[in-house]
Each structure stands twice: as C-alpha cells, then as structure tokens.
Structure 1
C-alpha cells in the first residue's frame, strides 16, 4: 500500500512539473524579466517585416502601404539595371572581405597573447585601453581620423618636419582603403578579444599543467591547447561574419568616405541612404534591404553547411 502511495505522489509531482503554470508560479520573476527583451524583439525585429511589401510596390508615403500601387518585381529590375548598385555591392564585398582577412584573426592573436601575460595589472590596463575604442561613436572616431590622417594632420605634419612627402591618406584610393581597414581593426579588436578571452577561460587548466610536466614551450601550448580549445568559438564567429558579407554599417564608410574616394567608399548602406532617405524612394531602399537579407541568409546557411560537412561545429 505504501509503495502505491509513493508512486502516486511521484506521478502527481511529475505531472505538476510538466504543467506550464507550475513553472510560471515557481519562476514568475524570471519570466517577467523576459518581457522587456521579448517586447523589443517583437516590436523592432518582427513587426517591421510587414513593411517588406514596399519592395513590391510603387510606394507613396501619402497613400501608405495599403493604398500604394502593386508593381511586383519592377523595383528589383530597376535596381539591377543601375551601375551604381553594382558598384556599391562590389565595394561592400571588397571591404567586408578585407575586414575578414585583416580583422578576424587580429582579436584571436591578441587574446592568446594577453592570456600569456602574467602581470595582472599590466593585463588589466592593456585590456581597458583596447576595449575603449569599441565604445566610441564613429563620429568621434571620424574626427580623430581627420586630425591624424588629413593633409594637414599630425602624421603628415610629422613627415613634413623631416622633409618627407605627405601621404594623402583620405583623398587617394589605396591609402584610404588601408586607412579604412586599419581603423576598423583598431576599433573592433578589443571587443573581439573579450569573446575569445572568455572562451579561453573555459579551457581545462589541467591540460596546461600536463603540458608543463611534459616540458612544452608557451608556443606549443598556444598551438596545441589554446587554439583547439577555442576552435568552436572561432567557427561560430566566422560563420556569422560570412553571413554579414553583403551587409555593412552605415556610419563607418559614411564618416570616413568622401567624393574623392567614392569609387571605394560608396557601399550598399550609403546607396540605401542616398536613394531611400535623400531621394525619398522607399521602395528601392526596401528592395535593397530585402536583397541583403536574402543573400546574407544564403551565405550563412552555406557557411554553416560547409562547416558541418568538414566536421566542425556550426551554429546549429
């Protein structure tokens, strides 16, 4: 009889735990804290999806979405016939690929080197200095770049004082491209380092102790323990970076670009600003945004598929 009662109590407890209301009563405060981020996602991420229909309309701001004329794929045909769109797309891909080549390995290398630093105060000070640029607005960074790299900037004045020829960092295409990539690496390297340092702390310390017993050098420990230990993090961030190959932020190319280097600085985000905001053609801007999203999704899925086929960790 006692065994039957015990089994019935266990069955009742299991049934209660499978009830959604049970978890609401038990963790009500945690679910309440979820309301704000859920509301943000619904309002700013999912609700605007309705506006994608503007890409298939001759959108009139006074008529609204429901009153605008439906034109099907005519907006996309018009965009794909413009040379300026292909130039913006090419520049976006070139800048993102160069950012990937120069900027992606930089925080990995820096995180590994910082992990080897033994002086705690120096390590903390270095981390603080490296993280600071990530929290600066690109407007501020653009002003700093102008003061440093313009024809009358600090670097060119320094070169002139030694009788050397000035370098037109911001008005010639190749120097501007190098400056653009270098400033981007400087601005983002600290934030990427945070992620990789967090991944490094999750590596089993016994592996390092065993390597010390075997007499491994620091370089061998970095190559055989640290890098394999953060490989999954590297794979995930690389896949996400590939998924953003067709997207690019507006502020960086807009602040650093100018008419003299527009052949390199005019990217998709500035193209959307020019045709969508300046010209008021919201249909074109929406169509380009939809194009970016679809191509980005295809790249993301393809990169994840290839990673899984190669036996590496993917996003899912």
Structure 2
C-alpha cells in the first residue's frame, strides 16, 4: 500500500512537470502573441490599476501640501457627509433614472438595427445604410449638444412646428421635465448604430443554409429571426447587458454638464457633474473622491448582481 501511494505521488509529480513543460513550450512557441498583448496590459496597469492607489484620499482629510500619506485619516467621514447631504436623494435618483431608462430604451435598439441590416441582401445598399447609422457616433458631444440647443430652442425648427399648431413654443432646455427624455433619445440616436456592429458581426457568421432550410419548411422571416438569428446573438446580448448594467451609474459627464442650465438643474444634476463641481471647481478632492468611489462600488455591486441573475436565466452563460 505504501509503495502504491509513493508511485501515485511520483506519477502525479511527473504529470505536473509535463504540464508545466507544455505551458512553457506553448509560451515560447507563441511569444509574439504575448508581445502583442503586452502594450495593452501595460496601459491597463498604468492607467487603471496604479491610479487606484489614489482612491485612499476618500478616507483622508486630503491636503495637497502634506500629500496622501501625510494627510489625516478620517475614515468614512466624507461618505457619511454625502449620504446625509440634503441633495443626495435628488442627485442619486437623477443618475439612476437617466441610466436605467437609457438602458431599458437603448439596449434593444442596436439589436433591432442589426437584425434589420442582416436582412439587406444588396451589399451596396447595406454599406450606405451602415454608414448613415454609424456616422452619428463620430460627432463630438459638444457638437451634438449644440445641435440639441439649436433644434430645441424657442425659435428652432421643432418649436416652429409646435408654435404653428399650439400658438406657443415649449421650453425644452429650461424645463426639467424634458431633460431626461432629450438626453436619452439623443444618446440612442448617437450610439445605437455603432453599438450594433458587434451584433452584425455575429449574425454574419450564421450559416445561410439554416435560413434556406427554415424557408423550405415554411418559416416566415419573423420565425427565422426568432429561432435562428436571436439564439445566435444571445450570448453577446447577455454580456453586453451585464456590462451596461454594471455601468448604470456611470452617466456621461460631458453631455449632462453641457446640457445643464440654471433652470433644468433639478433634473440634470447627477453624480458625475456633482463630483466635478465639488472636486475641481471647489477643490474638495477628498469629498469628491468619496462620492466617486461610492458610485464605483454601486456599479460593481450591480454588475455582480446582474451577472448572477443572467446566468440563472441564460443557462449558465454570463460574463464570468
């Protein structure tokens, strides 16, 4: 029995050595792949992981002269300050509503566009349609907001049509009731076409014989989309949804800040704009770091929770 145990140990040690040798041989044989990967890893390390060290100022009474380690430790003081501030509820809800409604309304649009593009058989027409759909993504946020102000102004083309029917224009950019709708719809218009690329690429790999066979069996176009196209892109849909849900609190700062006016502030003040104002404009770096860290923690919790739910509903397929 003792000899058998020793033999098993020797055999296990030999298998481990062979496995390590195999891994080393694979790395040495494909070293150029790791060289191609190295710049991305270095950039991620330098610009993503190393800056995490600075998050410690959220727990300190940060003084630029004393530095991070020289500043006094205050623990959760600034987190408590933010959570108990009078405007916390409004800022948190504004951020959550814009993100949630944007996700619910914007998530299906790229999928619908991709399915529609996949039905276009003429390559020339398909390329022109794709160009028209992808173009808004390359427009600067500043330009998009400028277009919004022009079209939505009291003398703009939209209000001219409204005035011709009702006799008075609508104050789109100064009324808080319109801010959320304008923000979300303009974001969908700008990003939906570009976001559909990943689904278009996945649908391009669908075997045409599947559609031909389904057509011969009497399946119409909607049935083919339901039973062939959608199952093909379902794993990608799950991953994209999890990532989008994980960033649900990360509303684009630039666009919200540019669209802000003194009149629509009750609906347009969100966590990113609040962090900018208290951090850079007021110089309260520790407080703004605490607010930003709070926002990041919420995102991580949401991503883990959504991934768990999606894996349960999607037969174990999730982000990880």
TM-score scaled to structure 2, two decimals? Answer: 0.89
Tell me the residue number matched to 1:93.
Answer: 96
Tell me the residue number matched to 1:134.
Answer: 137
Q: Distance in 2 between matches of 1:15 and 1:86?
A: 56
4+ runs of 1 displaced by more than 6 Å?
none
**Equivalent residue for 1:170, pick from 163, 170, 173:** 173
> Is the CA contact (8 Å cut-off) linking 2:177 and 2:267 kept in structure 1?
no
**Equivalent residue for 1:74, pick from 73, 77, 88:** 77
Deviation, 1:264, is: 1.1
Q: Distance in 1 between matches of 2:223 and 2:29?
A: 49
Secondary structure, in 3 states, of the residue corresponding to 1:59?
A: strand
Task: Confirm or deny that 1:192 pairs with 2:186.
Answer: no
Distance change >3 Å, CA 228–CA 34, structure 1 → 2: closer
> Is the CA contact (8 Å cut-off) linking 1:150 and 1:169 kept in structure 2?
yes
Deviation, 1:177, is: 2.2
Q: Distance in 1 between matches of 2:309 and 2:211?
A: 32
Tell me the residue number matched to 1:46.
Answer: 49
Root mean square deviation, CA, Å? 2.0
> Is the CA contact (8 Å cut-off) linking 2:61 and 2:73 kept in structure 1?
yes
Tell me the residue number matched to 1:210.
Answer: 213
Deviation, 1:196, is: 1.1
Per-residue deviation, residues 141-184 of structure 1 (Å, max 9, x unmatched): 11111111111223223444677432222111222322111101
Distance change >3 Å, CA 203–CA 164, structure 1 → 2: farther
Q: Distance in 2 between matches of 1:311 and 1:145?
A: 39
Secondary structure, in 3 states, of the residue corresponding to 2:263?
A: helix
Task: Confirm or deny that 1:254 pairs with 2:257.
Answer: yes
- What is the count of residue pairs matched by the alignment? 303
- Structure 1 runs not aligned, ≥5 long: 1-10
Task: Confirm or deny that 1:242 pairs with 2:245.
Answer: yes
TM-score scaled to structure 1, two decimals? Answer: 0.90
Tell me the residue number matched to 2:291.
Answer: 288
Tell me the residue number matched to 1:65.
Answer: 68
Secondary structure, in 3 states, of the residue corresponding to 2:47?
A: helix
> Is the CA contact (8 Å cut-off) linking 1:246 and 1:295 kept in structure 2?
yes
- Of residues 36-45 and 175-184 in structure 1, the stretch that sits farther from structure 2 once superposed is 175-184
Secondary structure, in 3 states, of the residue corresponding to 1:203?
A: coil
Q: Distance in 2 between matches of 1:15 and 1:237?
A: 35
- Structure 2 runs not aligned, ≥5 long: 1-14
Tell me the residue number matched to 1:298.
Answer: 301
Q: Distance in 2 between matches of 1:31 and 1:177?
A: 45
Task: Confirm or deny that 1:315 pairs with 2:315.
Answer: no
Secondary structure, in 3 states, of the residue corresponding to 1:258?
A: coil
Per-residue deviation, residues 21-54 of structure 1 (Å, max 9, x unmatched): x445433333222222111101100001111110
Tell me the residue number matched to 2:147.
Answer: 144
> Is the CA contact (8 Å cut-off) linking 2:176 and 2:268 kept in structure 1?
no
Q: Distance in 1 between matches of 2:136 and 2:282?
A: 33
Q: Distance in 2 between matches of 1:32 and 1:151?
A: 57
Q: Distance in 1 between matches of 2:198 and 2:167?
A: 41
Secondary structure, in 3 states, of the residue corresponding to 1:289?
A: helix
Q: Distance in 2 between matches of 1:194 and 1:118?
A: 17
